């Protein structure tokens, strides 16, 4: 599938939840396990993306300079450093290790 088709279909689908929620009767989503799964699904998908983006490359497990970068990101997030500074710091750690310390 082309990237443009993906961009448009995904945008429509993400919006569809928002408009669905605005029309659906409240009682439909009140069941505790539905709410719990929805909440945990967000956590699981974002965490899964940490694994893919942090520890794999082209479908192989590939530990490299991203690991120390992620450790720094974790500490800065825990210390409540603003998002953009935390992300920039993680990028800097990986970039510096690759440029000056020969890391992959």
User: Per rule CB under 8 A, is residue 101 in the interface with another protein?
Assistant: no
- The values of phi and psi at residue 10, to 5°, are -65, -40
Residues 13-42 that bind another protein (CB under 8 A): 13-15, 17-24, 26, 28-29, 32-33, 35-42
d(CA 27, CA 57): 44
In the bound complex, what is the minimum distance in angstroms from residue 102's beta carbon to another protein?
14
Q: How many CB atoms lie within 10 A of CB 55?
A: 15
Residues 43-62 that bind another protein (CB under 8 A): 43-56, 59-61
- The values of phi and psi at residue 75, to 5°, are -65, -45
Q: Binders of another protein: how many residues, by CB under 8 A? A: 77
By three-state DSSP, how is residue 61 classified? strand
In the bound complex, what is the minimum distance in angstroms from residue 12's beta carbon to another protein?
8
């Amino acid at each position: 599938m082309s990237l443009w088709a993906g961009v448009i279909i995904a945008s429509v689908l993400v919006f569809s939840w928002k408009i669905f929620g605005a029309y659906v009767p409240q009682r439909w989503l009140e069941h505790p396990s539905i709410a719990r799964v929805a909440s945990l699904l967000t956590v699981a998908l974002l965490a899964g993306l940490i694994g893919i983006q942090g520890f794999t490359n082209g479908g192989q497990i590939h530990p490299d300079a991203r690991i120390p970068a992620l450790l720094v990101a974790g500490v800065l997030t825990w210390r409540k450093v603003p998002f953009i500074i935390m992300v920039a710091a993680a990028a800097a750690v990986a970039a510096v290790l690759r440029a000056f310390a020969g890391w992959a």
